[in-house]
Structure 1
Amino acid sequence: MKEDEYDMSKMDNLLSPSSGDLEMKFSDGIMSKETEIDLDKKEDKNKNIVRRMIDSFKPPLDGSYHSDNLKRKLKSRHLIMIAIGGSIGTGLFVGSGKALATGGPLAMIIGWSIAGSQMVGTIHGLGEITMRFPVVGAFANYSTRLLDPSISFMVSSIYICQWYFVLPIELIASAMTVQFWTTKVDPVVWVAIFYVIVVSVNLFGVKVFGEAEFAFSLVKVITIIGFIILSIILICGGGPDHRFIGTEYWHHPGALANGFKGVASVFVTASYSLGGSEMVCLCSAETDPKELPHAIKQVFWRIVFFFLVSLTLVGFLVPYTNENLLGGSSVNNSPFVIAIKLSGIRVLPSIINAVILISILSVGNSCIFASSRTLCSMAHQGLIPRVFGYVDRAGRPLVGIIVNSLFGLLAFLVKSASMGVVFDWLMAIAGLATCVVWLSINISHIRFRLAMKAQNRSLDELEFKSSVGVYGSIYSATVNILILIAQFYISLWPVGGWTSSQQRTESFFKNYLCALVLVFVFVTHKIYFKCSTGKWFDFKPLAEIDLETDRKNIDIEIVKQEVREREMYLASKPWYIRFYNFWC
């Protein structure tokens, strides 16, 4: 069917925003179209399921590599649960045990409060830019636009590496978690089972990923709510032994374990436990952008309720001197499990263990999602070869999924004697990735606001504005820098001191090797950039920053009018309604 066979009225209908029959695509600067979509869908129905599955891996019908080929199938409920439960994982359930042992209950509250407060500014700033430019990769794209291509390459590369190395570690952790119930099955078998599950979820497409994360997050949320209720009962003496605990452990052994060093150590642990919070904005190219603001605002409540409240209660139930807290990184070292065991309740530890297993699988699921979308973004920006941006007919960034899945095979080293050493050094390569990514987001948002001002653009153009504004990003950037300094300090002068100079050197590089890797990646790309473009930097003046490309196709005047009407409506409501809207 040729284009000239349509009359103009039919073409107008086909190209209208409400029509799903024809979507205009751009690939390599040439306009192309997905023709006869309905006919192809009818043909697909006549094919058997195997044929349709094979065809789904083929290139899109228009043959393009454009990121618009990603499918917008994530719904509001998916985003909200990803926002709420996205970073609730082993960092909270297991990692908090070491934090309690090294810092004490008061240090946990201080550390998570400061790290959590910067997270609000970071995610709100990222959300503001994402609503303006809902593109694949989110911050990976914004660093190129608002900062410099070499900074974007450095930040995106280390972020991807982090997920590449976390995937096999989480698969191994899941196999070890099962040993809570039985040790008769070889861990390799569990690794194989969990590997197939995690890879399959991502190969089935973004809708299945969304449903899986919705289910995983729902389980985690229900568990923490139940734990909070149970903790209050136990603290008040409602346990099997009816012993009133109250603030006993805050007095003996005390509120702080190792003074300032303990607080600094918890500060670092808390920041990394919040990693993955940016995931909700990585979904922007695969959902209706209008669903993002509500999901972004859930970050505040997740931090306050699920992190601060639950960890505060843990501090009342478990003394920081409990020997199991520093026994390792297994579920037996989880303060949540220890708290229940100390109360004499026998069934619940198995339930908490099952939730920890689900949390581990959720992280593995997110590893492939986050890395594949970031890799796709880098390819579409021209930072890496074009093939990594391949999106198949089903809307999957297939090459990115395959590459991360190959790294997941490292999990089969589970029985290797040198497994621990290998993964310690692999994680050292990307150890600072989380804070570096957050810092790049903060600076990008500050530059975005300054560019809006320099180009005389009104903030009323923005469909979503950060609740904490540009000052929130400045605060968050400051906190992220302090986290990096705290990491450096603890690496050189750890809690408990050193036993030898060799241990000191090894530990320091395990904690700060990432900094050297970042410098190497940045300098290497700068040399390449200079050779290919003839200039060292592409750090654009504020007045020249592109604020239009990839912007949502909306009428600015209509947006301004809607913003004014919404503000007037809220101004007429009671304070608690305004408060709810501000944070929810």
Structure 2
Amino acid sequence: MAENSSYNTGKPQAIPEHSGIEKDLYGNSPPIYDGDAAEHQHVIADKLARKLSARQVQMIAIGGTIGTGLFLGTGKSLATGGPASILIAYIIVGVIVFLTMLSLGEMAAFVPIAGSFCTFAGRFVDDALGFALTWNYWFNDAVSTASDLIALQLVLTYWNTNFPGWALSLIFWFVLVGVNIITVRAYGELEYWLSLLKVITIIIFIILGIAVNAGGNKAHHYIGGENWHLPGAPFVGGIGGFASVFVTASFAYGGTESIAITAGETKNPTKNLPRVVKNVFWRILLFYVLSVLLIGLNVPYNTPNLSTKSSATSPFTIVFQMAGSTAAGSFINAVIMTSVLSAGNHALFAGTRLLYTLAVDRHAPSFFGNLNRNQVPWIAVLTTGAVSGLCFGASFIGAGQLWSWLQNIVGVSNQISWICIGVASIRFRAGLERQGKTHLLPFKNWTYPYGPWFSVILNIVLVLVQGWSSFSPKFSAVDFVSYYIEIPVMLVMYVGWKLVKKTEIVKLEEMDLESDVYVVQPGELDKEHLPGWKGKIQTAIRWIF
């Protein structure tokens, strides 16, 4: 299969006929490289092992991104924006992410490589944009891992234990780094079962939430829409409260796009990635919207400890308490802890692959691309984990306050990434049309060109206006920085790399649409389906999820 490391490395040479070297979709042979060691050392992307099965990839796509944003972030959103604000914001952001995933799935199915959309930004738009976006998203994932570690401290306060929260975070930090450094199979299997647990929990929550609202609570009281009519509800905090919910919604949905980063280690990505995009994301959207609706109906926005500087109580825990006893609350709180571990595991994996991609594309020192015997970029794992450790180590200022700031930073970073994915998709399609290769797409984005353009424009608007609450009723410098620091950072990295390397916007006729194109191997499709009763169980799981 033609999976060269990067679009800008190496010196291709002609390959003789009948050499036994596989050709790509276009009948072209992949380039081999001359003896230039300085360039050849970067040709490493094909060393990542494709060990993530369809079962693991689909479940990771369903549940891997469900974490602290949904389980804890909805509490902050409810307190600051009210029930109507969070419902509207989650629907709008969900539509944006769905459109983004269609665009990303189209590109990733055609060119399935580690780094995915970050590499696409460089290959299809400008190398400087790829540089800025990859470093930004790598830091995003490192901070996301840190926010999950901090969330552990918040969840732990539910039991009023004397066990220090930072110690629990440290233990989980070692677990995450250990799992990610062993083998990608260990990551995939852990993420599969943790994601499955989260999906089952949310299904139970939805059923329970409906029962609680209808009167199946300890007070045997029909709640209905009472909490939407409290003083100040359903829109709390005016325009500032409504705008601020978008960034926490973006934090909650964030990571959905990172499933494409697994493309470099996914079996038969040309078939599995489109399946993930088409058959999975709408289920995630369903989980988010229904959960947020039930939270807004059952939990008053002025509930104590939804979001404070020292603590945060999950609305999921509150609903389980309403349904039964303290034991029910403790159960769901324990499940939330496992979801935090899952989200941190997913973020660390994605961040590691991005740092690896930076080394491959010569945007970072090449030693970050070193692999261990299990083909895992172990130096990248340790580096990303170390940055996460430094971030959660700052939680002495108040775990709840730090977690809120990190939410804002990660949320805006996610929106910037979605903008870049939309721009890359528009350029990718234009390049295909110019070179007459559109018919070769294994999966087409049916919303093109309106979907990508809608996503880009709406995300730009959200990035600019969602920091309204930092200006009103009085200016908050720290909140302002958390909302807008990502914008100048991205601009500085983009302009700086462009000036230093003198990069140019890629011309459509020169766009690389041949390197790394995946070719299905003989018999590979047959391996997707197990024979006998195992195959029937696999089919049932795919149908349900």
What TM-score comes out, normalization by structure 1 length? 0.78
TM-superposed CA distance for 1:428, in Å, is 7.2
TM-superposed CA distance for 1:415, in Å, is 7.4
Q: Distance in 2 between matches of 1:417 and 1:367?
A: 23
TM-superposed CA distance for 1:107, in Å, is 1.4
Distance 1:65 1:421, change over 3 A: farther
Matched, 1:228 2:206: yes
| Residue number in structure 2 paired with 1:100 | 78
Q: Distance in 1 between matches of 2:518 and 2:138?
A: 27
Distance 1:488 1:282, change over 3 A: same
| Residue number in structure 2 paired with 1:307 | 288
| Residue number in structure 2 paired with 1:265 | 244
Secondary structure of the equivalent of 1:323? coil
TM-superposed CA distance for 1:111, in Å, is 0.5
Deviations 1:251-304 (A, max 9, x none): 334432234333222222212211000121111010121211111224432343
Unmatched 5+ stretches in structure 2: 1-16, 24-28, 522-541
| Residue number in structure 2 paired with 1:465 | 444
Number of residue pairs matched?
499
Matched, 1:479 2:458: yes
Unmatched 5+ stretches in structure 1: 1-10, 18-23, 33-61, 531-536, 556-579
Matched, 1:285 2:264: yes
| Residue number in structure 2 paired with 1:519 | 491
| Residue number in structure 2 paired with 1:509 | 481
Q: Distance in 2 between matches of 1:190 and 1:310?
A: 28
Q: Which amino acid aligns with 1:514?
A: E
Check the 8 A contact 1:86/1:279 in 2, yes or no: no
Give the stretch that moved more between structures: 318-327 or 468-477: 318-327
Distance 1:192 1:109, change over 3 A: closer
Matched, 1:548 2:514: yes
Check the 8 A contact 2:247/2:408 in 1, yes or no: no
Structure 1 segment 232-381 matched on structure 2, within 5 A = 232-253=210-231, 254-288=233-267, 289=269, 290-328=271-309, 330-332=311-313, 334-381=314-361
Q: Distance in 2 between matches of 1:314 and 1:233?
A: 13
Q: Percent identity?
A: 35
Q: Which structure has the greater CA radius of gyration? A: 1
Match 2:414 to one of 412, 434, 439: 434
Structure 1 segment 560-571 matched on structure 2, within 5 A = none
TM-superposed CA distance for 1:120, in Å, is 0.6
TM-superposed CA distance for 1:344, in Å, is 4.9
Match 2:181 to one of 170, 187, 203: 203
TM-superposed CA distance for 1:486, in Å, is 2.1
Q: Distance in 2 between matches of 1:173 and 1:272?
A: 13
TM-superposed CA distance for 1:544, in Å, is 2.1
Deviations 1:333-392 (A, max 9, x none): x22222233445322211121121112111221222111111111221222222222233
| Residue number in structure 2 paired with 1:215 | 193
Deviations 1:31-74 (A, max 9, x none): 99xxxxxxxxxxxxxxxxxxxxxxxxxxxxx9985111111110
Q: Distance in 2 between matches of 1:553 and 1:100?
A: 47
Deviations 1:212-237 (A, max 9, x none): 11111111111110010011111111
TM-superposed CA distance for 1:127, in Å, is 0.8
TM-superposed CA distance for 1:175, in Å, is 4.0
| Residue number in structure 2 paired with 1:181 | 159
TM-superposed CA distance for 1:325, in Å, is 2.4
Q: Distance in 2 between matches of 1:301 and 1:142?
A: 24
| Residue number in structure 2 paired with 1:489 | 468
TM-superposed CA distance for 1:140, in Å, is 1.5
Q: Which amino acid aligns with 2:226?
A: E
Q: Distance in 1 between matches of 2:87 and 2:410?
A: 27
Secondary structure of the equivalent of 1:256? coil
Secondary structure of the equivalent of 2:256? coil
Q: Distance in 2 between matches of 1:115 and 1:485?
A: 15
CA RMSD of aligned residues (A): 3.2
TM-superposed CA distance for 1:421, in Å, is 8.1
Q: Distance in 2 between matches of 1:428 and 1:257?
A: 19
Secondary structure of the equivalent of 2:514? coil
Secondary structure of the equivalent of 1:372? helix
Match 1:171 to one of 149, 155, 159: 149
| Residue number in structure 1 paired with 2:526 | none
Q: Which amino acid aligns with 1:361?
A: L
Give the stretch that moved more between structures: 225-234 or 367-376: 367-376
Q: Distance in 2 between matches of 1:376 and 1:147?
A: 21
Structure 1 segment 14-93 matched on structure 2, within 5 A = 29=34, 65-93=43-71
| Residue number in structure 2 paired with 1:147 | 125
Distance 1:256 1:426, change over 3 A: closer
Distance 1:352 1:418, change over 3 A: closer
TM-superposed CA distance for 1:106, in Å, is 1.6
Secondary structure of the equivalent of 1:326? coil
Q: Distance in 2 between matches of 1:382 and 1:128?
A: 26
Matched, 1:539 2:497: no
Q: Distance in 2 between matches of 1:365 and 1:547?
A: 32
| Residue number in structure 2 paired with 1:111 | 89
Distance 1:174 1:426, change over 3 A: closer
Match 2:366 to one of 386, 395, 398: 386
Check the 8 A contact 2:395/2:402 in 1, yes or no: no
| Residue number in structure 2 paired with 1:560 | none
Greater relative CO, 1 or 2 (CA 8 Å, sep 6+): 2
| Residue number in structure 1 paired with 2:4 | none
